[in-house]
Amino acid sequence: MENELLNRVEGNANVHRWSEHTQLEKGDSITIRYMSELSDYTRISVTQNNLQELKAIWDQWGNETKQSFYSKYGDLPYLFDIQVDKSLFRVLAQFWNPAYSCFTFGEVDLVLTVEEYTALLRCSRFQCDRIYSRAACVPTFGKKLMIITGMSEQWINNKIKEKGESKCIPWGALKDLIQSHPDGGKRVDIFALSLYGLMVFPKALGYVDEATTDLLHQLSKQVTFVPAILAETFRSLNACRRASADSFDWVPLLGIWGAIGYAPLLVLRQHGLRQFIPTAYELVQSEFAYKGDDYKRKVSDISSAWNKTCRLKGVAIGPTTTPEYVEWRGRRINDNIPRPSVEGARPIEEYLQVMPSELEIMKQEFERKNLELEKRIAKLEEEKIYLSLDVDVQKREVEKERKEKRKIEEDRDDLKEHYKKAQVSLKKARIGGSSNQLQKEVREEKSKAEYWERKFQEI
């Protein structure tokens, strides 16, 4: 970056002018003739170390020991509670754009930032501009382990193993030390070494790599490990490329196995600032590993650049963009990333929704259950109305049956009375009536009696 922007806080407008001028003068990270080395599909292994034993040790510690760790090494133990979504991780990796060290989703760029990692892994001892840098001359792996663990050279040499091209120490040996070491401060340091080596910078399953001890050795100098974590995150997503620049229009990051650059001006919208054209010249060539004859000079140049940082001062005005940025973004050449399909497309606002708070989630759940209860009450009220109608119908049926029963009883009484009269008539007929007339009357009375008897039995 130009000298007038170095080592001070600069206004948004000045950085805006400088960035667009540099981009016009030097060009983008890649050009039209660029041929991507990336395949259309990336296979990613999401195998990780089992951290249950490490977490169990942390859970057993008292508050005083935990506070000692927080003050010295930051809030890393909170990462124990994060569940890795392996499917999401595989999908996100497909959208990693190595040409600009960012995720590209259609017209939107997203990138992990130093500010976010600093807030997440908060540690008051770290100085934000005092970064970890791999020293040209460092103590041997064994010497660094002796300093961190306080163990003898013989013990250290017996535990050191080789995995591929690097040396390492097994987690089992460190676990035994954490549980049995008489020095409480050393237990905290060994736990930190294990946490960095198994969770933050894993290389071989079940082992802590030599490079992790170099980082931990330098943390006592109040250097910040955030750029190193960010660098290794980017390098794990990028293919290895050779860097050749001696000055930087973007931010170079030194990791523990190599270095890479990223362009924070690319994602000003993430901080609520106006997005203008960022400078990203040769960003695609920024990555290199700590190998070969020239890497030490590159590390020295990056370390010097971090002594002259520039911070952007601006007023948060919402996620707006300049017209020039929209035009540049439309014609920018990306690396080989999935292209968005317009079929079934939805606005980006539907995807970038604010996560509701726990209170809002509880409120929504209460409202949902309350709505279900209201629907159930309404259904019960409806059933009650139908039941009351059924009761009325049943009452009318019962009343009708009672009336019919009374009528039949009255008819039965009439029948009895009529039968008595018939008996009297029969007696009179025997005395003075004709035989034919008498038989006729008997048959009629008998027929009536049978009819009403059947009717009575039906009830």
Task: Dump pLDDT digits (tens) for 23-62.
Answer: 666 666 555 555 555 555 555 566 677 888 888 888 888 8
Q: What is the pLDDT of residue 250?
A: 46
Considering the domain architecture, whether residues 344 and 372 belong to the same structural domain is answered as no
Considering the domain architecture, whether residues 294 and 424 belong to the same structural domain is answered as no
Cα dist from 11 to 8, 15, 17, 316, whole Å: 10, 7, 10, 12
Q: What is the pLDDT of residue 3?
A: 43
Question: Which of 322, 356, 390 is at the close of a domain?
Answer: 356
Return the CA Rg of the chain.
Answer: 45
84, 85, 86, 92: CA torsion to nearest 10: -110
Considering the domain architecture, whether residues 287 and 325 belong to the same structural domain is answered as yes
Inter-residue contact 20 to 321 (CB < 8 Å): no
> What is the rounded CA–CA span in Å between residue 300 and residue 104?
31
> What is the rounded CA–CA span in Å between residue 231 and residue 211?
14
Considering the domain architecture, whether residues 96 and 25 belong to the same structural domain is answered as yes
Considering the domain architecture, whether residues 352 and 218 belong to the same structural domain is answered as yes
> What is the rounded CA–CA span in Å between residue 30 and residue 35?
9
Directed axis angle between helix 141-149 and helix 184-195, to 10°? 130
First to last CA, the chain: 110
Considering the domain architecture, whether residues 105 and 226 belong to the same structural domain is answered as yes
Domain with 446, as residue range(s), is 361-458
Q: What is the pLDDT of residue 320?
A: 73
Number of domain units in the chain: 2
Inter-residue contact 9 to 311 (CB < 8 Å): yes
Cα dist from 168 to 162, 199, 218, whole Å: 6, 15, 18
DSSP string, 303-350: HHHTTS-EEEE-----S-B-HHHHHHHHHPPP-S-PPPP-TT---HHH
- Closest Cα partner for 227 from 96, 122, 133? 133
Cα dist from 225 to 178, 209, 229, whole Å: 23, 16, 6
Q: What is the pLDDT of residue 243?
A: 33
Q: What is the pLDDT of residue 292?
A: 64
In this prediction, the residues of the chain whose per-residue pLDDT falls under 50 are: 1-9, 239-250
Considering the domain architecture, whether residues 200 and 289 belong to the same structural domain is answered as yes
Considering the domain architecture, whether residues 347 and 370 belong to the same structural domain is answered as no
Q: What is the pLDDT of residue 454?
A: 72
**DSSP secondary-structure letter at 200?**
I
Instruction: Give strand pairing partners of 96.
Output: 103
φ, ψ for residue 264 (rounded to 5)? -65, -25
Against a cut of 0.95, is the pTM above it?
no
Question: Which of 308, 323, 356 is at the close of a domain?
Answer: 356
Considering the domain architecture, whether residues 123 and 267 belong to the same structural domain is answered as yes
**DSSP secondary-structure letter at 102?**
E
Question: Which of 296, 331, 356 is at the close of a domain?
Answer: 356
Inter-residue contact 285 to 244 (CB < 8 Å): yes
Inter-residue contact 159 to 170 (CB < 8 Å): yes
| 289-338 confidence digits (pLDDT tens) | 666 666 666 666 666 655 555 565 555 555 576 666 666 666 565 655 55
- Helix or strand (DSSP H, E) at 170: strand 166-170
Inter-residue contact 261 to 267 (CB < 8 Å): no
Q: What is the pLDDT of residue 184?
A: 85
- Closest Cα partner for 80 from 187, 169, 191? 191
Considering the domain architecture, whether residues 110 and 180 belong to the same structural domain is answered as yes
Considering the domain architecture, whether residues 143 and 27 belong to the same structural domain is answered as yes
Considering the domain architecture, whether residues 373 and 318 belong to the same structural domain is answered as no
